[in-house]
């Protein structure tokens, strides 16, 4: 928990009240997957590397591998988390959740994850 907490704190920008969208995937998310799949990921060198090691493992099921996010989805999810953090501030006006800043875009009136379009 100490390692996760310190990494989370290093990714959080208290002035913005948000996670750093550039740092969080390669620091916090990579650490979480590294810890979860420690037997399959020899070291933590960014989310792309960690996910590649997991995908290369012969001992992890194809179903599990198919459920792993892409690095792009990880970045989108970090942006989604930032919207939640802004929402919890309970300030007016509430930020628009369907914006690229928070990981969503509108396509023909329907919201989509930004990495999926």
Place of tokens 């988390």: 81
Which domain range does residue 12 map to?
2-116
Q: Compute CA 79 distance to the chain's CA centroid, rounded to the nearest angstrom.
A: 8
Count of domains for the chain: 1
Question: What's the CA gap between 70 and 67, in Å, rounded?
Answer: 9
Burial of 114 (0-12, 13-18, 19+ CB in 10 A): buried
Q: What is the pLDDT of residue 16?
A: 92
- pLDDT digits (tens), the chain, 117 positions: 888 999 999 999 999 999 999 999 999 999 999 999 999 988 778 999 999 999 999 999 999 999 999 999 999 999 999 999 999 988 888 888 899 999 999 999 999 999 998
Q: Coil, strand or helix: which one is 50?
A: helix
């Amino acid at each position: 928990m100490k390692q996760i907490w310190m990494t989370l704190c290093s990714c959080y920008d208290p002035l913005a009240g948000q996670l750093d969208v550039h740092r969080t995937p390669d620091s916090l998310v990579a650490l979480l997957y590294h810890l979860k799949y420690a037997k399959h990921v020899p070291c933590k060198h960014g989310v792309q590397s960690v996910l590649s090691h997991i995908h290369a493992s012969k001992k992890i099921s194809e179903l599990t591998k198919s459920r792993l996010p892409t690095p792009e989805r990880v970045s989108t999810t970090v942006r989604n988390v930032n919207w939640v953090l802004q929402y919890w501030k309970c300030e007016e006006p509430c930020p628009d959740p369907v914006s690229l800043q928070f990981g969503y875009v509108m396509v023909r009136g329907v919201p989509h994850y930004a990495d999926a379009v």
